Amino acid sequence: MRPFYGETLANGLMLGTAQYPSPKVLSDAFARSGAAVATVSLRRESGRDRAGQDFWELIRALDVHVLPNTAGCHSVKEAVTTAHMAREVFDTRWIKLEVIGEEDTLQPDVFGLVEAARILSEDGFQVFPYTTEDLVVADRLLRAGCEVLMPWGAPIGSGMGLNNLFGLRAMRAHFPDVPLVIDAGIGLPSHAAQAMELGFDAVLLNTAVAKAGDPAAMAEAFATAIRAGQLAAEADPMPPRDMAAPSTPLIGKAFLE
C-alpha cells in the first residue's frame, strides 16, 4: 500500500462515522472492521455542545487516524473555512476536501475543488480531494499540492459500486505512484474487493455499513473483502480472455482410434 502523506496505514478501509443507530453500534463496527481511518464531519462536533464533546471522545477511543471532511460545502470559501475549523477541533493536517457542485448526484465542483485544494495545500493542509475519475482534473489537483486522489465510484450513498471501470483503470495506470482511494458509491463488499483488485490503495465508505441491518457484521465483511482484493492484486491475476482455454493439458492424453 502506498503511504498517505508519509503515513502507512494498517489496512485499506476508511470508515465514516455518520448515520449509525447508536454510539455502541458505531464502536462495534470499527472494532469488527479494524478500519484504519475514521472520517468525521465538523457538523457532528460542537465546541459548546456536550453531545458534540461526547462524540469526539468516542472517536478518540477508536484509536484510529482521523480524517475530518468538508461534507456539505458548496463553495470554495465555505470549504476552506470549514477545513480551518476542523484543523483546530481535531488537531490534524489531514482534510477530506469536498466541494459539491450538483445537488442530485452530489458530484464535485471540480473547478472549485482545485482552487480550494491549492489554498489549503499552501496553508499546510494535507488534502484528500473527493473528485471524479477525470484525468485532467486529477493532474490539476496534484499540481495544486495534493498527494492523494479520491475518485468517486458512484454518487454518494447510491450503493451502485464502480460505475466507470475504464476511467478508474485509466487513473490507476496514469498515476502509478499516487495513493488512490475509491470514495462514495460503494454498496457491497464485492464492490470494495473490485476496487482493490484494480490496484487502488483504499476504499472509503459509510452508508453501506451504517445502514445495514447488522452494521458490525457488514463492517467485518468489507474488511475481509478489501483484504481479499488487495491480495488478489498483489498476486498478479490472470487477464481476461475472449475465448476458452483448457485448464487441463493435452500432453499425455490417450487418443482412441
The CA radius of gyration of the chain, in Å to the nearest whole number, is: 20
* HSE-up (13 A, CA, CB side) for residue 101: 13
Per-residue pLDDT tens over the stretch 178-221: 999 999 999 999 999 999 999 999 999 999 999 999 999 999 99
Annotated ligand binding at 6? The verdict is no
Confidence of residue 43 (pLDDT cuts 50, 70, 90): low
pLDDT tens sequence across 60-88? 888 899 999 999 899 999 999 999 999 99
Q: What mean pLDDT do residues 7-15 have? A: 94
pLDDT band at 54 (very low <50, low <70, confident <90, very high): confident
Q: Which of 228, 118, 129 is nearest to 179 (CA)?
A: 129
Is 96 marked active-site?
Answer: yes
pLDDT at 252 (0 to 100): 62
pLDDT tens digits for 128-170?
999 999 999 999 999 999 999 999 999 999 999 999 999 999 9
DSSP 8-class letter at 201: S
Q: Which grid cell is 177?
A: 505512484
Beta bridge partners of 128: 96
Q: Which helix (H) or strand (E) holds 15?
A: strand 13-16
Indicate which residue of 77, 96, 211, 253 is catalytic.
96
Higher pLDDT, 158 or 249: 158
Q: Which amino acid is at 12?
A: G
pTM given for the model? 0.89
Could you report the per-residue pLDDT of 100-129, keeping only the tens digit for each? 998 888 899 999 999 999 999 999 999 999
* Spatial distance between the Cα atoms of 174 and 60, rounded to a whole number of angstroms: 37
Containing 204, the helix (H) or strand (E) segment is strand 202-205
The answer to whether 213 is a known ligand-binding residue is no
The single residue listed with the C-alpha cell 477545513 is: 83
Widest CA span of the chain, in angstroms?
Answer: 90
For residues 38 and 102, the model is more confident at 38
- Residue 206 in marked binding region: yes
- Residue 153's pLDDT is 95
